[in-house]
């Protein structure tokens, strides 16, 4: 272990602390990606459980609009009541099918007296220069039975909107705009209306069930955390090899010096001493990757004796036997 004593030097301690810091950052990022994967896995399970479930009815259908219940997101509800078309609002900048358009929000007053927000669907931007839709289909008049899927409200955004429009499905802003009580815990994406209107906005597309690449990203970050220590260990091992090569190089230089100088330091070689000194100085100034050209190459160990070794051993045995006779 004495060969690794350099690991206690300030430089190598610094490299180790840097590897620890890099590994800690990688583990943190791996955990963040894993949390995102867990969140998406939970959302996917919620979609698969709720999307095609039997609709809630009566008071159970109206309750989630007043009290938030994240477990019921995407769950269908069946409501009976009347639309209030005079308070219709368009949500701007909503893409669908590669086009930009609007979502149509209309308040809906149930027979039980509660008022909720329903998203009747999407309409595209029209051809006019003002960017407004060419037509917004009106909701059915009179009593209507609506089936819709529950969605949480959206946060407020720091963007204005023209008259009759809103920048996001901010239920608190809608309550203040309309001036009467509405359910602010959720709104509904309409999937059917009875009686059915002649024309209706395009329904919301089905959600994608996909966890994305977060799990693989997380595993990659964990691998990076381990690789930092692998790289540190490889660098330490390489340093040991370089030190061993340097010792071999020094021994080679000593061996060469012994050919030209005696123990008292007197030059005993043939030829000009100045040329010998210049050669040794040039070799000493070589960069490390060239110095190893002068280092003695270690002999590769053979796990099995060669045919020549076996023949020599047999001859030695015969000679010893002859000598004994």
Residue ranges of domains in the chain: 59-194, 221-324
pLDDT tens profile 120-174: 999 998 877 567 888 899 999 999 999 999 999 999 888 888 888 999 999 999 9
Q: What is the pLDDT of residue 126?
A: 84
CA pair distance 51, 76, nearest whole angstrom:
7
List, in order, residues 6 or more apart from 210 with CB less than 8 Å away.
Answer: 40, 44
Q: What is the pLDDT of residue 11?
A: 92
Q: What is the pLDDT of residue 106?
A: 97
pLDDT tens profile 68-100: 999 999 999 999 999 999 999 999 999 998 899
DSSP code at position 188: E
CA pair distance 140, 133, nearest whole angstrom:
19
Q: What is the pLDDT of residue 222?
A: 96
Q: What is the mean pLDDT of residues 262-288?
A: 70
Q: What is the mean pLDDT of residues 6-35?
A: 95
Q: What is the pTM of this model?
A: 0.66
Q: Is the pLDDT of residue 107 over 80?
A: yes
Helices (H), the chain: 10-50, 59-66, 171-178, 214-260, 273-284, 288-291, 307-324
Question: Which percentage of the chain shows pLDDT scores above 90?
Answer: 58
User: If pLDDT is split at 50, 70 and 90, which confidence band does 301 have?
Assistant: very low
Beta-bridge partner residues of 144: 81
Average pLDDT, the chain: 86
- By DSSP bridging, strand 89-96 and strand 99-110 are antiparallel
Q: Is the pLDDT of residue 56 over 70?
A: yes
Nearest Cα neighbor of 217 from 15, 30, 5 is 30
List, in order, residues 6 or more apart from 72 with CB less than 8 Å away.
Answer: 50, 56, 64, 150, 186
Q: Is the pLDDT of residue 265 over 90?
A: no
Q: What is the pLDDT of residue 104?
A: 96
């Amino acid at each position: 272990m004495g060969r690794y004593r350099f690991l206690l030097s300030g430089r190598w301690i610094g490299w180790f602390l840097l590897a620890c810091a890099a590994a800690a950052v990688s583990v943190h990022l791996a955990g963040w990606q894993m949390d995102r994967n867990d969140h998406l896995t939970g959302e996917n399970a919620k979609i698969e459980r709720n999307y095609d479930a039997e609709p809630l009815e009566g008071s159970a259908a109206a309750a989630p609009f007043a009290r938030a219940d994240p477990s019921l997101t995407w769950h269908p509800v069946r409501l009976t009541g009347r639309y209030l078309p005079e308070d219709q609002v368009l949500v701007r900048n909503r893409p669908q099918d590669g086009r930009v358009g609007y979502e149509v929000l209309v308040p809906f007053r149930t027979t039980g007296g509660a008022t909720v927000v329903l998203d009747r669907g999407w309409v595209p931007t029209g051809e006019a220069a003002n960017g407004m839709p060419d037509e917004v289909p009106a909701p059915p008049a009179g009593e209507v039975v609506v089936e819709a899927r529950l969605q949480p409200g959206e946060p407020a955004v720091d963007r204005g909107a023209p008259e009759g429009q809103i920048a996001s499905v901010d239920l608190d802003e809608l309550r203040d705009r309309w001036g009467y009580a509405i359910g602010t815990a959720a709104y509904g994406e309409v999937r059917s209306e009875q009686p059915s209107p002649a024309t209706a906005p395009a329904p919301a597309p089905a959600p994608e069930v996909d966890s994305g690449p977060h799990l693989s990203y997380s595993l990659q970050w964990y691998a990076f955390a381990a690789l930092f220590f692998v790289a540190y260990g490889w660098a330490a091992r390489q340093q040991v090899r370089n030190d061993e090569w340097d010792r071999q190089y020094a021994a080679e230089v000593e061996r060469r010096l012994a050919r030209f100088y005696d123990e008292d330091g007197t030059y005993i070689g043939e030829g000009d001493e100045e040329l010998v000194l210049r050669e040794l100085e040039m070799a000493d100034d070589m960069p490390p990757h060239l110095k190893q050209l002068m280092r003695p190459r270690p002999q590769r160990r053979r796990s099995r004796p060669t045919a020549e070794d076996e023949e020599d051993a047999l001859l030695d045995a015969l000679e010893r036997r002859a000598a004994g006779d």
